[in-house]
Structure 1
Amino acid sequence: MLENFDFGSTENAVYSNDYFKMYVPFDDSWYVKSQEEMKEIAKVSKELIESDSYKRALEASEINNTYLFTLFKYGPDDLFAYNPSLSIVAENTKMYPHVKRGRTYLQEVQKALSLTTVSYEFDMIEEEFIIGKYSFDMMNVTLDYLGLDIKQQYYTTISKGFSLSIILSYTTEAQKAKLESMLNTIVFSEGLSKKKN
Structure 2
Amino acid sequence: MVDNEMISKLIMASCNFCSLIPEGIARFRKRMQEYEALSKKREAMKASIAALKKDKEGFAEKELAWQKKVHELTQRHEAKIGELKQQAEASIKEKDELEASLAQLAKDNKGLIEQGFQQLLIHGRHQGYTAGYDAGVAGSPKDKSPLFQPGAFDVFKNTVMKMECLTYPFVGEVSECYGKPLSVLQA
State the TM-score, normalized to the length of structure 1. Answer: 0.19
Choose between structure 1 and 2: higher helix proportion. Answer: 2
Greater Rg by CA: 2
Q: Which has the higher contact order (CA 8 A, sep 6+)?
A: 1
